[in-house]
Amino acid sequence: MQELDTVSTGRAGYTYAKELVRNWHHVASTSVRNLGSWAGNLGLKLSHNEFPSDIFINLLGAGAVVTTALPTGSTSTHTLEELLGLDLQKERRVILEMRLPPMSDEVVFRVFKVMGRWTNTHAFVNAAMAFRVDKANAHTVTEKPLIAYGGINPTFVRASATEAALEGKSLEDEGVLQAAMQALADELKPDNLPQDPAPEYRLSVAQNLLYKMVLGIVGNAASSTVISGGTDLERPESSGQQEYDQNTETWPLGQPIPKLEARMQCAGEAEYVNTMAAVNEELFGMFVTSTQANARIASIDPSAALAMPDVVAFVGVEDIKGVNNIMAFAWPLPQKLFPEDRVSYYGQPIGLIVTKNRGAAYGAREAVKVTYDDIQPPVLTIEDALQKPPIKGPPYEQGDVQAGFASSTHIFEGAMSRDGQYHFHMESQSCLVVPTDIGLDVYASTQWASETQRAIGQVLGIPDNTINVTVKRLGGAFGAKIDQCNIVTTAAAVAAQKVRKPVRVALDLDANMTVIGWREPYLCTYKVGVDDSGVLQAIQATLTCDAGYVAVDTSSPAAVYCMTSCYSCPNWEVTPQVVLTNTACNTWCRTPGTVEGVIFMENILEHVAQGMGMDPLELRKKNLMPDGGTRPLNQGMIRFRSLVAGKEAKWLPDSLPVPRNLISDMLTQILTSANVEERKQIVANYNQTNLWKKRGLSVMPLLWPYAVAMKVPFNAMVSVNARDGTVAVSHGGTELGQGINTKAAQCAAYELGVPLDMIAVRPPNTHVNANSEVTGGSQGSDVASYSVTQACKRLRARLDAFKEENGLFDKSWPELVLAAFNKGVDICERYVNGWDEVKAYPVFGVACTEVELDVLTGQFLVLRTDILEDAGKSMSPIVDVGQVEGAYVMGQGLFTIEKPLYDHDTGRRLTDGTWYYTPPAALDIPVDFRVSLLHDAPNPVGVQSSKVTGEPPLCLAFTVVMALRQAVASARGDAGVTDWFQMDTPLTVDNLQRLCLVDSSRLTIK
């Protein structure tokens, strides 16, 4: 690329090379580009014609000629089209060199890439075009142009008929353009594969890219409104701003420091379960998984696998000595480790093959013979599942919705769906179980060690005190390791029990994406009534979530309570529903239930604003809840689950008091800091003057109910070492990358009055930190910090009393603790938070997002996002800002890029790797990203006056959807359609472009 860049300015006839360099920045990633070669890329294209290679199409467009050599030494040259006809491998032919010819200044050369995110992903459609044009003669194409496309079907390359339709013709002639569009429609036959965007989209985009080419050539000869269609979206350099209070008086508590493990993680030195050194005689376990989604298992025969070298055992349902249920704290429905009769989803574990090494497991897994009968078609979507009656939960009811609708002057009805999301933790589900002479030592990647301990005890039929679960750290979790990790931990434990040897199970990425469920897909149907001024009168809605094949981790019963967010409405009836599908057991994912309640409410408000012709922000302001109110909390579900699990302690407060609704103040702040009104005007003007590029700017407030239960024990242990005064802390939470250890250490250092570097946070285990709760629901850092704080307060009080009694006022900390120890004072302390010690409270946030949409392709940029987040008095501002930024971007992926795909015949999840499933990457985040933590906002009931930050900001990413709605609405308006339209998420580029109602007949020059 460097060489191309150099010749593009230094050598006559090579200006066009700049265009290659520009596009190749979007080919794979920097690291892949550094490793891969252009020849390898061409080699890949030749052996996989379906691969939409950018390099191939781009070089073909540039007229590249390649020299190859046979083993005999004979060489020959080929155009890239000729190269396609060769079989390099069969002939053992090697690509030696490539020559790029110079190009006349009369030739306009452009390459295009339309893709699902901005980097490190393959093209949906790519193209290269070269037109020799006589500008002075109405932009006439003076020789046969070159038009090549990728991503259409495995054999399509050149649009020859379209090339012919343009040769010798003026590009300013609308008739010529329309003829070319027709020719393209006739010759392009996109294939129809479930993992690719629909053929209609790919054809439309192919036409639009040609249109872009033409607009780019004719320039000012086109009308000013269409001219912006000729350019691609160009992302400026990213920038960010972070603002927070310093609060120096409490440092190191509240000091902005990087996460304690950050350097170690970046250096690759941080140890995870799967990077722990092998223990003596360790074996490896790999799941044998179902290749049917809805069938009865007729037989399982592992004999061929067991005869293979290095294969030790097959572990099946018959090896379960206890209860075949991996859920310790659950609904009445069990989730079986291995099925006893039918399989319910493609990829479901049927058993575990145990081998001496990982390599042997792959072959052995395939050699286990499983046969099926009674094979039924899989049910994969909520719509299909609703053919049967769903499981209904108790509704959230307030007031009288029928009376509310009767008093409404405007009623709107609609629906919105939101698809699932892979958790995309960097560390896959993994566990190492080591049998010892006192039971099992378990090293697990779990968010809830005591749940894992109990689940293993239950499945193996052994007492909990024989199982010690240690959790050093997790490489991310996002909810997938709350209870679904126990598919892996219990399987490893059953295997270890059977073979009496250590067994490690660590899923590959494809298994992690297939075996384990994702965030639940959702469907919301709604009816809303307002009065003439837009004030809400009644909301009736049904929230249906897709639980997967078993309804153990469903969030819709909680989601219905979260719709209230920061708004008032006198009458509500919101019903939760759950459907079952032939997919993996879907599970909690960062802000489960809350995000659905919040976004469906925002969508309703968008609908009302559109229907009433009101400014969406003004409508929201009209409906904000007053100070001094309460928010409902879902007592029912959590109480029910607690009782089922034999725990009476897990109760939520009746409701969440909101003494002050901070939203009005925060909106005022962000309107000023983000210069909202002026930018809204600029956006409106932009949309009026541009047909093919659109912008949108949205503002969204959020009240996120931090509904911590009355009792969520986090068992903290603080040990001071007598000889040097250093402190070791272990708390019942788990370090998932969210910075829980950093906050705990900052609390400990502050409370004990020692420097931060005297504190070490040790990994928790179920012996020292017994019965601790789940690190999830944003409560981990909060409650663990609370227990550590309380333990340190007690310890400090004891040492202060000792100091006072003995007059040791001039002693340093190490001298004091040694003196106390020598006098028999206990210099360790344990604390478990008790009933209602940690309080629930509302978390507020506001965000403003501006986007720019390329109507012709559906690609967009998030130009700028401003977030004002209420973190109370932050315990660790850099950690909190990181949480805000990360949560927001994860939400952006949920709402726009990430789309689960299935084979509808077999039920196989097609998005089982990073080729078809892409979370946001570095070039998808807001170009200008500004995060502020609310100034001077101590939380009177918060731990160290702080508020949680792990989950709430994810909801604010819905501003991207709202801003895109404005952009799409403007595009639809240009097409003459001004009605409300349903916008399901994710808003993938094909989804967005379809919504924009682009039709080839509207592709005009004037």
Ligand X SMILES: Cc1cc2nc3c(=O)[nH]c(=O)nc-3n(C[C@H](O)[C@H](O)[C@H](O)COP(=O)(O)OP(=O)(O)OC[C@H]3O[C@@H](n4cnc5c(N)ncnc54)[C@H](O)[C@@H]3O)c2cc1C
* Strand pairing category for 467-470 and 439-444: parallel
Binding map of ligand X across residues 832-861, x = CB under 6 A, - = no contact: ------------------------------
Q: How far apart are the first and last CA of the chain?
A: 38
> Within 10 A of 902 (CB to CB), how many other CB atoms are there?
22
Shorter beta-carbon distance to ligand X: residue 513 or 881:
513
Shorter beta-carbon distance to ligand X: residue 55 or 503:
55
Using the contact rule CB under 6 A, the part of the chain among 39-47, 235-243, 395-403, 775-783 near ligand X is 39-47
Q: What angle do CA 129, 82, 125 make, to 5 degrees?
A: 40
Q: Is position 43 an interface residue for ligand X (rule: CB under 6 A)?
A: yes
Q: Is position 28 an interface residue for ligand X (rule: CB under 6 A)?
A: yes
Residue 115 CB, nearest approach to ligand X (Å): 7
Question: Which of 9, 11, 32, 675: binder of ligand X (CB under 6 A)?
Answer: 32
Shorter beta-carbon distance to ligand X: residue 150 or 907:
150
Shorter beta-carbon distance to ligand X: residue 54 or 990:
54
Task: Cis check for the bond before 145: say yes or no (omega within 30 of 0).
Answer: no
Q: Is position 95 an interface residue for ligand X (rule: CB under 6 A)?
A: yes
CB 349 within 8 A of CB 516: no
* Strand pairing category for 391-392 and 503-506: unpaired
Shorter beta-carbon distance to ligand X: residue 78 or 410:
78
Shorter beta-carbon distance to ligand X: residue 44 or 317:
44
Shorter beta-carbon distance to ligand X: residue 45 or 259:
45
Using the contact rule CB under 6 A, the part of the chain among 52-60, 161-169, 274-282, 754-762 near ligand X is 52-60
Q: Is position 865 an interface residue for ligand X (rule: CB under 6 A)?
A: no
Question: Which of 59, 109, 117, 122: binder of ligand X (CB under 6 A)?
Answer: 122
Q: C-alpha dihedral over 629, 633, 636, 637, to 10 degrees?
A: 170
Residue 121 CB, nearest approach to ligand X (Å): 6
Q: Is position 94 an interface residue for ligand X (rule: CB under 6 A)?
A: yes
Task: Cis check for the bond before 986: say yes or no (omega within 30 of 0).
Answer: yes
Q: Which residues contact 151 (CB under 8 A, 6 or more apart)?
A: 52, 114, 123, 124, 125, 126, 190, 196, 202
Question: Which of 7, 17, 27, 563: binder of ligand X (CB under 6 A)?
Answer: 27
Residue 42 CB, nearest approach to ligand X (Å): 7
Q: Is position 41 an interface residue for ligand X (rule: CB under 6 A)?
A: yes
Shorter beta-carbon distance to ligand X: residue 111 or 761:
111
Residue 96 CB, nearest approach to ligand X (Å): 7
Question: Which of 36, 256, 636, 973: binder of ligand X (CB under 6 A)?
Answer: 36
The DSSP annotation for 620-631 comes to: HHHTBPPTTEEE
Instruction: Report how far residue 56's alpha carbon sits from residue 69's, in angstroms, rounded to the nearest whole number.
Output: 19
Q: How many residues bind ligand X (CB under 6 A)?
A: 20
Using the contact rule CB under 6 A, the part of the chain among 38-46, 207-215, 343-351, 540-548 near ligand X is 38-46
> How far lies 391's CA from each of 330, 547, 550, 572, 573, in Å?
16, 10, 11, 20, 17
Shorter beta-carbon distance to ligand X: residue 43 or 230:
43
Instruction: Report how far residue 477's alpha carbon sits from residue 424's, in angstroms, rounded to the nearest whole number.
Output: 8
Residue 917 CB, nearest approach to ligand X (Å): 12
Using the contact rule CB under 6 A, the part of the chain among 42-50, 231-239, 357-365, 670-678 near ligand X is 42-50
What is the torsional sign of CA 380, 381, 384, 387? Answer: positive
Binding map of ligand X across residues 56-85, x = CB under 6 A, - = no contact: ------------------------------
Phi first, then psi, for residue 90 (nearest 5°) are -60, -45
Question: And the tokens for 679?
Answer: 């930018």
Q: Is position 39 an interface residue for ligand X (rule: CB under 6 A)?
A: yes
Distance of CA 405 to the CA centre of its chain: 37
> How far lies 163's CA from each of 133, 144, 184, in Å?
13, 6, 9
Q: Is position 40 an interface residue for ligand X (rule: CB under 6 A)?
A: yes
Residue 98 CB, nearest approach to ligand X (Å): 10
> Within 10 A of 731 (CB to CB), how many other CB atoms are there?
34
Residue 27 CB, nearest approach to ligand X (Å): 4
Using the contact rule CB under 6 A, the part of the chain among 36-44, 419-427, 760-768, 924-932 near ligand X is 36-44
Using the contact rule CB under 6 A, the part of the chain among 53-61, 507-515, 663-671, 979-987 near ligand X is 53-61
Residue 749 CB, nearest approach to ligand X (Å): 42
Q: Could you tell me which of 706, 564, 572, 557 has the C-alpha nearest to residue 635?
A: 557
Instruction: Report how far residue 106's alpha carbon sits from residue 135's, in angstroms, rounded to the nearest whole number.
Output: 8
Shorter beta-carbon distance to ligand X: residue 150 or 395:
150
Shorter beta-carbon distance to ligand X: residue 41 or 335:
41
Three-class SS of 696-747: EEEEEEEEEEECCCCCCCCEEEEEECCCCCCEEEECCCCCCCCCHHHHHHHH
Shorter beta-carbon distance to ligand X: residue 48 or 369:
48
Shorter beta-carbon distance to ligand X: residue 41 or 445:
41
Residue 100 CB, nearest approach to ligand X (Å): 17
Q: Is position 86 an interface residue for ligand X (rule: CB under 6 A)?
A: no
Q: Which residues contact 394 (CB under 8 A, 6 or more apart)?
A: 557, 576, 636
Using the contact rule CB under 6 A, the part of the chain among 5-13, 41-49, 261-269, 784-792 near ligand X is 41-49
Question: Which of 55, 180, 260, 749: binder of ligand X (CB under 6 A)?
Answer: 55
Shorter beta-carbon distance to ligand X: residue 29 or 655:
29
Question: Which of 54, 245, 546, 751: binder of ligand X (CB under 6 A)?
Answer: 54
Question: Which of 7, 14, 16, 53: binder of ligand X (CB under 6 A)?
Answer: 53
Question: Which of 6, 9, 30, 47: binder of ligand X (CB under 6 A)?
Answer: 47
Instruction: Report how far residue 354's alpha carbon sits from residue 359's, in angstroms, rounded to the nearest whole number.
Output: 11
For residue 300, the cross-strand partners are 370
Q: Could you tell me which of 395, 417, 416, 421 has the C-alpha nearest to residue 577?
A: 395
Question: And the tokens for 82?
Answer: 């000729």
Question: Which of 4, 65, 86, 88: binder of ligand X (CB under 6 A)?
Answer: 88
* Strand pairing category for 715-720 and 727-730: antiparallel
Residue 978 CB, nearest approach to ligand X (Å): 38
Instruction: Report how far residue 729's alpha carbon sits from residue 706's, in angstroms, rounded to the nearest whole number.
Output: 26
> Within 10 A of 321 (CB to CB), how many other CB atoms are there?
12
Shorter beta-carbon distance to ligand X: residue 35 or 797:
35
Shorter beta-carbon distance to ligand X: residue 66 or 933:
66
The DSSP annotation for 761-819 comes to: EPPPBTTTTTT---S-TTHHHHHHHHHHHHHHHHHHHHHHHHHHHHT-TT--HHHHHHH
Residue 402 CB, nearest approach to ligand X (Å): 55
Q: What angle do CA 502, 508, 513 make, to 5 degrees?
A: 125
Residue 762 CB, nearest approach to ligand X (Å): 37
Question: Which of 1, 4, 44, 391: binder of ligand X (CB under 6 A)?
Answer: 44
Q: Is position 120 an interface residue for ligand X (rule: CB under 6 A)?
A: yes
Tell me the Ramachandran region of residue 728: left when phi exceeds 0, alpha when psi lies from -120 to 50, beta otherwise.
Answer: beta
Distance of CA 408 to the CA centre of its chain: 39
Q: Is position 98 an interface residue for ligand X (rule: CB under 6 A)?
A: no
Shorter beta-carbon distance to ligand X: residue 25 or 641:
25
Instruction: Report how far residue 919's alpha carbon sits from residue 518's, in angstroms, rounded to the nearest whole number.
Output: 14
What is the contact surface with ligand X in residues (CB under 6 A)?
A: 27-28, 32, 35-37, 39-41, 43-44, 47, 53-55, 88, 94-95, 120, 122
